[in-house]
Amino acid sequence: MSYLIIPEKYKPLMSMQQTEQGIKLIKEFFQQNLSTGLQLRRVTAPLFVLKGMGINDDLNGVERAVTFPIKDLGDAKAEVVHSLAKWKRLTLAEYEVKPGYGIYTDMNAIRADESLGNLHSLYVDQWDWERVITADDRNIDFLKRIVRKIYSAMLRTEYLINETYPQLEPFLAREVFFIHSEELRRLYPDKTPKEREDAICREHGAVFIMGIGGKLGDGKEHDLRAPDYDDWTTPNQDGFMGLNGDLLVWNPILERAMELSSMGIRVDKESMLRQLELCGKQERKELYFHKKLLAGQLPLSIGGGIGQSRLCMLFLQKAHIGEIQASIWPDDMRAECAAAGIQLI
């Protein structure tokens, strides 16, 4: 079901022409800062991959991939990518990238099962990045260091946008607050995971919630994750499980938490086998990607995705992601947005 938030007395602070210029400025500036900060080189990525290779991401395990037959391959099925976590790791191996360096790319996807609203569209565009690490880097302190580098690039981008368009006032918190999803559950035991995100982001402004995917003390996950890309079961030095997380900020227009990035240290052989068993997905061990990982043919890595339209929406202080990207929306949503001054592209 679609879900729409109409901010009270919302008025766009930029014309549609200024908005398009702002989108270009944000995308060019941020990706350059991301590339420099994490030592990444740009690569070209696929829009679709062959079905049955184990390369497409399973996300939380329930989304259906958009598929189509390929005539010249005997009607073999291709899938539009959900994201590129596994493809990037294969590419790191193919390019023989050394530890401390990595790649980034423009990822475009179609997620037909998305619940449409202010933050969710059928069309997903993000910067997907992946960096080679060593075994010594597989710890929570290294993860936090990478998160801070990404957030610093966001702060610099916000400063540029505010200088270019003075009608937009800065609002991002200066620092990221880190908390494990189990700590967050204990802090707000009577709230749902999304309500916890709103509460902690309202208090701290920018939050990285660690350990996404594993079951918490109440027997429930904060959110679901596929078993074969992020490592959400390896214990960290703080006594909690998981080497991954989500970066969220408080959105002052919508007055709610807004996820900008999902990322993490990726599975090694041991954690992937453990997570496949936990999820009852042991049959995946016979797929192309999984065989290469289990054979030690893929490097250890850290990686994630950063929403392009979401970042632009945040910095340009828009109420709906449809003010940033062209997509398909329910007729009643378009009508409600038009009545409230929300200009969907």
**pLDDT at 328 exceeding the cut of 60:** yes
Strand partners, 50: 78
268 is known as an active-site residue:
no
Side-chain half-sphere exposure of 118, counting CA atoms within 13 A: 21
- CA dihedral (313, 317, 322, 326) positive or negative: negative
Annotated catalytic residue: which of 221, 223, 259, 268?
A: 259
What is the predicted pLDDT for the residue at 54?
A: 81
Annotated catalytic residue: which of 89, 111, 138, 256?
A: 111
CATH architecture of the domain with range 16-339 = 2-Layer Sandwich (3.30)
Ordered by start, the domain boundaries in the chain are 16-339
By the 8 A CB rule, do 223 and 246 touch?
yes
CA angle 316, 322, 328 (to 5 degrees): 165
Which of 1-5, 127-131, 235-239, 261-265 is least confident? 1-5
246 is known as an active-site residue:
yes
301 is known as an active-site residue:
no
User: 131: pLDDT confidence band, cut at 50, 70 and 90?
Assistant: very high
Annotated catalytic residue: which of 121, 262, 271, 308?
A: 262
**pLDDT at 234 exceeding the cut of 80:** yes
Q: Where are the alpha helices (DSSP H) in 96-180?
A: 140-164
Which of 3-17, 29-43, 315-329 is least confident? 3-17
pTM (2 d.p.) = 0.94
Strand partners, 80: 48
327 is known as an active-site residue:
no
Q: Where are the alpha helices (DSSP H) in 1-100?
A: 16-38, 85-95
What is the predicted pLDDT for the residue at 324?
A: 97
What is the predicted pLDDT for the residue at 111?
A: 87
Strand partners, 108: 125
259 is known as an active-site residue:
yes
Strand partners, 168: none
Q: How far apart are CA 294 and CA 286, in angstroms?
A: 10
**pLDDT at 96 exceeding the cut of 70:** yes
141 is known as an active-site residue:
no
Annotated catalytic residue: which of 31, 35, 57, 131?
A: 57
Annotated catalytic residue: which of 128, 246, 308, 309?
A: 246
Nearest to 132 by CA among 301, 304, 303: 301
Tokens in use for 247?
Answer: 């970066």
Q: How far apart are CA 81 and CA 216, in angstroms?
A: 30
Q: What is the pLDDT of residues 251-293, one digit of tens each?
A: 999 999 999 999 999 999 999 999 999 999 999 999 999 999 9
Q: How far apart are CA 343 and CA 320, in angstroms?
A: 9
**Stretch 159-172: mean pLDDT, rounded?**
97
What is the predicted pLDDT for the residue at 2?
A: 64
User: 59: pLDDT confidence band, cut at 50, 70 and 90?
Assistant: low
**Stretch 33-39: mean pLDDT, rounded?**
98
Q: What is the pLDDT of residues 168-188, one digit of tens each?
A: 999 999 999 999 999 999 999
Annotated catalytic residue: which of 126, 309, 317, 325?
A: 126
What is the predicted pLDDT for the residue at 182?
A: 97
**Stretch 79-97: mean pLDDT, rounded?**
92
The 10 Å CB-count burial string (b at 16+, else e) for 130-169 is bbbbeeebbbbebbeebbeebbebbeebbeebeeebeebe
Q: What percent of the chain has pLDDT over 90?
A: 88
